[in-house]
Chains A and B, each alone.
Chain A
Amino acid sequence: MLTRLAGGRVIDPANGRDAVGDIWVRDGRIVATPDHASADQTLDVAGCIVMAGGIDIHTHVAGTNVNTARLLLPDLRAGSAAASVPVSQTIGRLYAAMGYTMVVEPAISPHVAPQAHLELSEIPIIDTAILTVLGNDDYLLRLMANKESSAAIADYAARVLAGSGAIGIKAINPGAAASFKANVRSFGLDDAVPNSDITSRAIINALQAATESLGLPHPLHLHCSNLGMPGNVETALATMEAAGDVRLHIAHLQFYAYGKDGPRGFSSGAARLAEAVNSRPNITADVGQVMFGQTVTVSSDVLRQFNARGQAHPRKSIIMDGDGNGGGIVPYRYRKTDFYNAVQWAAGLELFLLINDPWRLFFTTDHPNGAPFTAYPDLLALLMDRSLRAQHIETLPKDAMQVSTLASITREYSFADIAIMTRAAPARLLGLVDRGHLGPGARADIAVYRPQADLAAMFRDAALVLKDGVPVIRDGIPVAQPFGRAVAVRPGFDSAADRGLAAFYDSIYGVPHTAFDVPAADLLGRTQPFETVPCRT
């Protein structure tokens, strides 16, 4: 069937297009304008904005930590649309309603990958992927302690990626979770895991090297040490320096944008971080914007979560000394009247507005840690409208605004900027050549928005969304509920790596090393096999 999306303003930065025109779709893919054929179906989108489907590179939507948050907080009613940790079914519908067609769950330890994939298989409409978490896992630390070659580490990483069905590698406060099990209570970039000389810095460099030698499309995705602490802007700057010239993605940069200035010893360090990102082309980052309201922090940074227990609201929390990273669940409420929360809010917006390359900066709230993803439309509006920002600034503590440059920033995002940050750039960052753009050959994952004065309303309820060419959303309401694909890389590895791993699991864990492997898609209840993203050669 040939479908024509007629007369919209097509914003497709990957192909340099921003003009009123048509998009043609055949068999789930975008095709060039046919010479003679006439459309079987014409969807009139005149007056609307047409973009590729959105891609969220960092959102905690599945896995044992997220599911434990649901169980911990029945009062937050995960089954409802307003939930900070909605259920699988709702995640797919709400993302699709906003015009998103793919999300990446960025924090799955290899041993919990099977459950994560089961959860993802119940998220309707959108495509999904996971990042597998390394850096606190016993075997990597063993390889590094034994001074094994970088090739051996890369082989191991490849084996884990294959077993966990992941699209890339994430490191979360590398070394800290392992150290916390030995009663270490703070852990920085140059601290070593007890009884070893393995520093966080060394782990980061080793995993960067593995990522590059395997040719993974996605750079190492890093959650740095010292998250949330005053003065941690120094940690983020030192971590960027530690990356050298090698690619590195820093997750939820806002949570590292804190200085120690001002009368309360807490200030926004966002301007310094933005300057550093602007001058280092190997660095990408997502923001992890804070928005005000009740949420729950769900993190595999178990040490940080343990130390944050005193701030829990409501007053309960879970700490899991898990295999590898484990994690912690700490419910939290960001309050407009709170000095620290207001500085966090401002720092995030400063990062958005002061980092000048939308191809290297990604739109996230670190759902649900800074805010639930359902706050995205409100955040997009803040980026595009400085008078709206000014109104919000008026309502926040003055002393908080005095330790941030936000009020002085006039930049407003254009639709093209938004399309880059939420579509074209994520696809490029993940190596997805047929997503994030609207050129011939792309998957027909398309979002159509009807412009209106209320920008948030426009982004909350897309006028029309196509997934693989099929209309799935009309005016924010699901009209079809197909299931998307799970996307993963499958780098090859030396079978010797597998034998070494097998021996380690047998002797140390007493279970087969294949026990945690994610089975084929049909055994997860998926109707389509995994989609493989090629590695760079």
Chain B
Amino acid sequence: MQLPDHFEFMCPVKTGSGSQALSHLPSDLAALDARKPLILTEKKNSEKGLVKHLVQAFKTWNITLGVYDGIDDGTNLETVKELYNLYLDRGFDSLIVLGNGNVMNTAKILNIAVSGKPEDLKRVKEGGTITEPLKPMVYIPVISGTGTETSGDACLDGLCVSSTFLMPDIVTIDPKVLLDEDPEKVVNTGLAALTYGVEAYMADDANPVTLTYAQLAVDFVVNNLEVLVRESLVARGKVKAAIREFQAKKERTALVNAACMAGYVYASTGRGLASSLGAHVADASGFPKGIAMGLLLPYAMDVSARIKGRDLSSLMRPMAGIEMFCCTPEAQRFDYAVNRVRLLQNELFSLTGGRVPRTLEDMRITRKTLAGIAEKTSQENGACDSALCLTILEHAYDGKPVVS
């Protein structure tokens, strides 16, 4: 690949993933000089016993843990204020996030407040930037997520902030806390991760450093999502279910790795065509963002490769593996990659009985709203002029590939 004349990448996160990952947490926190962490999570996570696993990892460490499990969809800046007081009153010095989307958003916003002066939150609200590293923050993902938890983005109660200082210090992926989940949520996580990963290949400053994480996100989604969804829908007896669970843990770990890595990549490259459009399509249709982004992805790939002339052939490698990639003539590689994404979506459609849409028509949005979405997106994202955006949307409406 030809390197761009100038490129930058940073991922300040330490990732630990796999068996006994939680047991590394106390010593990792100690290395950051954190001695009294506050755990933030949702009720359902403590009910499912996930908090217990986390507490278990701190045995023998003589550390008092704070647990707040009241975060839900209604969590707002008022909650943050209460948590702020709690954090300071009880002398906490770090945050552990066990959960996804909203829990992480709450933690990021809370961390701005507790790291500096409480006015910082107000200052950031008025458009100020974060200029100093924040207090240590650990992110322990569960199976479902948005793919931006590990990025620098935070949005809560209308307050949206973005800063690399908001990225967690440590990400701990432990299969113990990756339980079976509603397939639609799993798909949403996977497709969001896939989209951010592929968009790094389409970015103007695509470079081998960013693509290290991006290729893994693509690889882990494409090679795990489908089987994970398919197998979770099969009814099994106790013994067979236990055997399957062993394998499922591995697949979930891979998928969550993809989601975390996608967040790292997204933090550097930002939104591309599919994710920009996807956000608005999600708003218009009521479908989750990841699913909307993923639906648009193959059409954005078409436009990038066939209209803008980007060489995306190397995307085939993480999808198909070295063996297949090498024996496929270069001119066929992009076709393979884009068809692989389409195939994945069609399979997911069939597996979920149509709950995961393949086309915008499946999403039941009307054709006449497309122009408005294209217009709105192109105003936000300069890389996508409204004609191009509309091309993507119209083709995605019919499920028709874009050809040059």
Binding partners A and B: no
